[in-house]
């Protein structure tokens, strides 16, 4: 199954991205969190552009690309202006690679539910504001698990329908690796920013 292949073949990149972002750090400060949101906004701008470019419109209709809007909303709620421009593009070159990148962003959305609870308990956020990206108060909320299952159904159907399913899978793995590398390359200070 393609989801199993994606998980297996991107495990190292996934672990590197999680370690690099270190979102569950008990010493995470509000300043560092804001810097993280700014970095994520710069990353998601080109990701969502690439996903719109390569994925079928019916896919993005079923799985709307709302992460960047949530990041901008979080930053606004925290009194911070979003970054002026997008970060470096991932360089996706095919629909298969876009599906792989979508695997990463949808997985991040799913994992965000746990992260949101951690952040709510540790950061001085006004009435849960500033957590839409990670799921608290976001548009998906409790429907996030259903959204992940929908993604799984869609990517599996696309892979099974491809005339060259092995090549599609390899492209998806490459796209997922590119996306995880984008997260790993975010430069978020480990200590509070001044």
Could you give the percent of the chain with pLDDT greater than 70? 92
Cα 125 to Cα 31, 81, 108, 134, distances in angstroms: 11, 17, 21, 13
Please identify, in words, the CATH class of the domain defined by 2-184: mainly alpha
**Chain-wide mean pLDDT for the chain?**
90
| Torsion region of 56: left, alpha or beta (phi above 0 gives left; psi -120 to 50 gives alpha) | beta
Condensed to tens digits (0 to 9), the pLDDT of residues 140-172 reads 556 888 899 999 999 999 999 999 999 999 999
pLDDT at 119 over 50: yes
Q: What is the pLDDT of residue 194?
A: 40
Tell me the domain boundaries of the chain.
2-184
Cα 163 to Cα 86, 160, 166, distances in angstroms: 35, 8, 9
Q: What is the pLDDT of residue 129?
A: 86
pLDDT at 84 over 90: no
Residue 193 — pLDDT band, cuts 50, 70, 90? very low
Q: What is the pLDDT of residue 190?
A: 60
Q: What is the pLDDT of residue 189?
A: 61
Residue 103 — pLDDT band, cuts 50, 70, 90? very high
Q: Is the dihedral of CA 168, 173, 175, 176 positive or negative?
A: positive
- pLDDT greater at residue 127 or residue 140: 127
What value does the mean pLDDT take over residues 8-25?
A: 94
- pLDDT greater at residue 51 or residue 84: 51
Q: What DSSP string runs through 51-103?
A: HHHHS-HHHHHHS---HHHHHHHHHHHTT-PPPSS--------SHHHHHHHHH
Q: What is the pLDDT of residue 137?
A: 43
pLDDT at 138 over 50: no
Q: What is the pLDDT of residue 33?
A: 94
What's the helix, strand, coil split of the chain in %, to 5? 70, 0, 30
pLDDT at 104 over 80: yes
Condensed to tens digits (0 to 9), the pLDDT of residues 49-83 reads 999 999 999 999 999 999 999 999 999 999 999 88
């Amino acid at each position: 199954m393609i989801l199993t292949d994606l998980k297996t073949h991107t495990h190292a990149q996934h672990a590197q991205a999680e370690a690099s972002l270190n979102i569950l750090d008990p010493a995470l400060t509000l300043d560092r969190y804001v810097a993280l949101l700014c970095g994520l906004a710069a990353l998601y701008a080109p990701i969502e552009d690439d996903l719109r470019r390569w994925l079928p419109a019916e896919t993005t209709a079923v799985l709307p690309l709302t992460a960047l809007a949530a990041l901008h909303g979080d930053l606004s709620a925290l009194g911070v202006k979003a970054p002026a421009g997008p970060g470096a593009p991932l360089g996706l070159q095919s629909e298969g690679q876009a599906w792989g990148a979508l695997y990463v962003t949808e997985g991040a959305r799913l994992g965000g539910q746990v992260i949101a609870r951690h952040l709510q308990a540790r950061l001085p956020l006004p009435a849960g504001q500033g957590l839409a990206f990670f799921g608290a108060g976001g548009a998906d909320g409790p429907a996030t698990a259903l959204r992940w299952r929908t993604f799984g159904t869609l990517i599996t159907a696309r892979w099974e329908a491809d005339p060259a399913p092995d090549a599609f899978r390899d492209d998806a793995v490459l796209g997922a690796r590119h996306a995880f590398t984008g997260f790993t390359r975010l430069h978020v200070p480990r200590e509070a920013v001044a």
